[in-house]
Amino acid sequence: MSALNLQKRNQNLSYRSHFLIIFLLSIITIDCSTYWSHRKKDLADVFTAGVESPGYGVGVRIGPLATGFVFQGGESEPGKRDLGTGYGLRGGSYGKYRSQQLIFAFLGGEKFHSMPNEEILPKEEPKQAETKPSDNFLILPETNDPEQDPNPTPELSDERQNAKSYEIRYLRFYNNPVSERRKAKKEAFFRKYLESLDPQKRNEAIQNFLAQNPKNKDDYPSAFLFEVELYISIRYGIRIGFNFAEFLDFLLGFTGFDLLEDDI
């Protein structure tokens, strides 16, 4: 029995030493500053703690399932949904952010994105002379959508903040027709194609089109499905939350595995 126990103990030590070697090699092969920067960001993704205004009500959200009665955000003028801001830790960033949410029993939706100093906003194109057919140009589709959001989710200069932004209607999560899913896939493919044409972001026409058609509109990151949030407000409110997927991503990140593919 003692020989068998000794053999098992040696096997356990062998497994631990192999794991330690792999862990150390993964750290050595990755730039240390970048590695720890990603770990810090992954940890920030796990928690939500912010103060928001204006808002009224109480609501709880578990993934896409929300319940309660919440009115948070609003309009500064008819048709311009530009109210609803917060300050704190949300979406992996600390600072000011846009927050709008409506919950009526089990219906409603919400919108979130960071509000850093820099946003990639569309620029006014100067009038130019008519181009000849031989000129090198790209014709982009018109974006005159009568139902277009007057205050769309902006395209931010930080790609990671873009990935954490979202706009979602809860009912649509459960009732998403095939035609709408196909349309979303086509739009995502076209957007990715445009981004590949201008990796340095120097083509003004392409960048204006991308800014006017943000990829996160009416969409959400995969970690959204594993988040638990509580919101309480009377004019000024608090939002606290915990994301189980982001916590797992944080733990696995120490081994070099990026579960949510957000180390950007």
How far is residue 139's CA from residue 130's CA, in Å, rounded to a whole number? 14
- Return the domain boundaries, the chain: 41-121+138-253
Asked whether the whole model's pTM tops 0.85, one would answer no
Per-residue confidence (pLDDT) for residue 111, from 0 to 100: 93
Token representation of residue 142: 């018109």
Per-residue confidence (pLDDT) for residue 120, from 0 to 100: 45
Q: Do strands 65-72 and 93-105 pair parallel, antiparallel, or not at all (unpaired)? A: antiparallel
- Whose tokens are 């873009």? That residue is 162
How far is residue 76's CA from residue 212's CA, in Å, rounded to a whole number? 21
Count Cβ neighbours within 10 Å for each residue of 34-56 and write b for 16 or more, e otherwise: ebeebeebbbbbbbbebebbbbe
For the segment 210-237, the average pLDDT, to the nearest whole number, is 83
Q: Is the pLDDT of residue 139 over 60?
A: no
Alpha carbon 157 to its chain centroid, in Å, reads: 13
Q: Is the pLDDT of residue 186 over 90?
A: no
How far is residue 183's CA from residue 188's CA, in Å, rounded to a whole number? 9
- Give the contacts of 116 (CB within 8 A, at least 6 positions apart): 93, 95, 156, 157, 158, 161
pLDDT (tens digit per residue) in 49-92: 999 999 999 999 999 899 999 999 988 888 788 899 999 999 99
Token representation of residue 158: 């930080």
For the segment 153-173, the average pLDDT, to the nearest whole number, is 82
**Terminal-residue alpha carbon distance, the chain:** 52
Which of 125-134, 184-193, 230-239, 248-257 is predicted with the least confidence, judged by mean pLDDT? 125-134
Whether the CB-CB separation of 210 and 224 falls below 8 Å is answered with no
Q: Is the pLDDT of residue 146 over 80?
A: no
